[in-house]
Each structure stands twice: as C-alpha cells, then as structure tokens.
Amino acid sequence: MKMVTTVNFKEELVSKVASVDRIIETFLPGETTLSKDLAKAMNYSMKAGGKRLRPLLMAETFKAFYKRDWIMSGQEEGSVKVLWAFMAALEMIHTHSLIHDDLPALDNDSLRRGVATTHVVFGEDIAILAGDALLNYAYETAFTSFDTENADKERIGRALQILGEKTGLFGMLGGQSVDVKNEKKAIDYRMLEYIYANKTGALLEAAFMIGATLAGADRHEIFAMEGIGYKVGFAFQIQDDILDITGSEQELGKPLFSDDKNNKVTYVTLRGMEEAKRQVKLLTKEAVSALEEIAPGQEFLLSLIESLTGRKK
Ligand code: GRG
C-alpha cells in the first residue's frame, strides 16, 4: 500500500490529541453537589486517556468539508463550538460503552486505558450508574450546542439524529446485544459482520458523518463518509482481534486474550491471522481511496486512517 504519511505525522498526532483532551475536559461535569461521587466516576474513565480517535476523526472530517485550516487555533466561530460539543459527546458515549463492556456481567475486565476499570475503583453499582450517566450526559452536552450564537440549528438536529441512531438499537448497542447473545456460539461470517459493523463501526461512522454534517456537507458526501466509516470500523475491529492475541498488555492498556477468555468467535478465529492482517490492509486501502476521491488533499486524515493498520494500542 502506498503510504501517504505526512512529514511530522507523529508530532502532529500528539499535539492534536492534546487539543482534543483539552476540548473534552471543558465539557466534563463538575464534581459538586450531593451526586459528586457519580461525577467522579464519570470523569475517572474520561480522564484516563484513550486514543481519542472518534473525536479526532470528527474534527478532521469537519475540517475537510469546512474548508478552513485546523480548527483548534482559538477561532471562536459558532460552527466550531458546536463541533467541540459533539466531539465531547461522542467520546462520552464511547467511554460509557467501555465502562459497561468491562463490567462483571459482560467482559469482566479489570484494566482499561492503562488503569483499573471503573467498577474495580468505584464498585459495580456506581460503575453501572456512571455508564448510564455518561450516555445521558453526552446528549446533554450535544444539546448545549443549540445555545451557541449563530449556530446552524438544522445541522445540529441532523447531527443529533446520527448520534442517536448510531449509538442505539440499530447501531452500537444493537451490535453489542448480538455479540453478547452469541458468545460461546459458532457464529457465521454474516453475523460476525453485523456485530463488527454495529458494535464498533457505528460510532466510527458517526464520527465521519457528524463531522461532515456540521461542516455543511451535502447528502451525497455524508453518505460517502458513512461508507468510509464502515471500512475503517471493520478494519479497526479486526485489528483489535489481532492485538488481543499478539499485542502487549502494557501498550494496549487492557488485558490480552479477552476474546479467548469469553469464548468469542472473531475474524481471526474464523478466517485466520494472515487473512485478518490482509483484510485490515485492504479495507484501509479502500477507505483511503474513497476519501481521496470525496475530500482530496486531507493528508493528516489519510495518515491517521493508515496509521490504524499498524496500531499497537
Ligand atoms: C449497556 C450493558 C451495556 C453494555 C454496553 C455497547 C457496549 C457495552 C459496548 C460496545 C462494544 C465495544 C466495547 C466494542 C469495542 C469497540 C472497541 C474496539 C473499543 C476500543 O476502542 P479504542 O481502541 O479505545 O478506540 P480507547 O481507549 O483508545 O478510546
């Protein structure tokens, strides 16, 4: 595959992730009032880091269609403020899913983002509530964008619709339910594809689609970005399967062999390690070509997508 790596990709990535961290931090709930213990549990996992991939993809897609330079340079335009709220909201939804995914009733993991999982630190009861509260707070956060001066309310409405659909029954939660119901069963490729497209792919699709929507992209462009999100999401989950076997616990920040422990059929168990690696590269190549066609000249975004094939965490 031809790598389109930008000259200082790694430095740029570090600096952009730091910007995303700062943006997210401004939307986190204060740890005040009698419910401060819940807020602490919500903030614990949000502040533990993570790659911030979804908000970063959203911001870069926004930039591609907004046709202005990097949008974290102190510009205070309404559209940018709205984008920030949606970046934080998507990361909250993603973090909610991780808190719940780690619970004893689901994967029962005790390490996430390099630190003890929320239920280990705060107890199972508060971890359940923290996941619920983060999911709700995500929408509270996204709704605040209606208060932004000169905001385009129609775009906000459409972005909310995407956020809701991609999170719920016909997105991440639906996919996760099929995954959970079929643990320890010999599922076929069709079902595996459904699970991956939804439990992992849907939020990545949302990142690309919302970024494009808030920047004023048309329906055709948003549809194309959904397709790119599908491919990136599928490749991302296959790489997750690979890393669950070949990765390092320290780099991943979560335990290895989680799939084996839970008797899960994965792309690797179904098609083999070599085919899994080949498929990650193929899907990435297709996503990159589609992006070059619909939004030419997005070097950082292309490099970011390509970097996921070799990710170790
Ligand atoms: C509501 C009971 C209940 C459960 C919900 C929806 C859900 C649990 C879980 C979603 C499924 C899930 C965790 C899918 C895996 C997707 C994935 C590979 C997550 C890891 O994402 P990264 O690598 O994580 O981007 P960081 O920590 O870097 O943000």
Residue 102's pLDDT is 97
Residue 184's pLDDT is 83
Mutate to test the pocket of ligand 1, among 102, 167, 176 (most ligand atoms within 8 A of CB): 176
Give the Å distances, CA to CA, from 259 to 243, 266, 308: 11, 8, 20
What separation, in Å, do the N-terminal and C-terminal C-alpha atoms of the chain show? 21
Residue 69's pLDDT is 56
CA 73–ligand 1 middle distance (angstroms): 30
The residue nearest atom 17 of ligand 1, judged by CA position, is: 200
What are the two backbone dihedrals, phi and then psi, of residue 111, each rounded to the nearest 5 degrees? -135, 135
CA 67–ligand 1 middle distance (angstroms): 31
Residue 2's pLDDT is 47
Residue 4's pLDDT is 52
CA separation for the pair 20, 6 (Å, rounded): 20
The residue nearest atom 27 of ligand 1, judged by CA position, is: 50
Of 274, 273, 239, 248, the C-alpha closest to 53 is 239
Q: Which residues, at least 6 apart from 214, have a Cβ–Cβ distance to it below 8 Å?
A: 62, 79, 82, 83, 86, 152, 155, 156, 159
The Cβ-side half-sphere exposure at 207, using a 13 Å CA radius, reads 30
Joined together, the tokens standing for residue 2 give 């031809």
Residue 129's pLDDT is 98
Burial of 134 (0-12, 13-18, 19+ CB in 10 A): buried
The residue nearest atom 9 of ligand 1, judged by CA position, is: 97
The residue nearest atom 20 of ligand 1, judged by CA position, is: 98
Nearest atom (ligand 1) to Cα of 237:
18
CA 93–ligand 1 middle distance (angstroms): 9
- Grouping H, G, I as helix, E, B as strand and the rest as coil, residue 71 is coil
Scanning the structure block, which residue is given the tokens 């707070």? 137
Give the Å distances, CA to CA, from 14 to 11, 24, 293: 5, 15, 27
**What single string gives the DSSP state of each residue in 225-266?**
HHHHHHHHHHHHHHHHHHHHHHS-HHHHTS-S-HHHHTT---
- How many CB atoms are closer than 10 A to CB 115? 16
The residue nearest atom 2 of ligand 1, judged by CA position, is: 100
Pocket-forming residues, ligand 1, beta carbon under 6 Å: 50-51, 53, 94, 97-98, 100-101, 106, 113, 172-173, 176, 199-200, 237, 240
CA 77–ligand 1 middle distance (angstroms): 32
CA 7–ligand 1 middle distance (angstroms): 31
CA separation for the pair 48, 94 (Å, rounded): 13
The residue nearest atom 16 of ligand 1, judged by CA position, is: 200
Residue ranges of the chain with per-residue pLDDT less than 70: 1-7, 68-76
Q: 232 with 308: CB under 8 angstroms?
A: yes
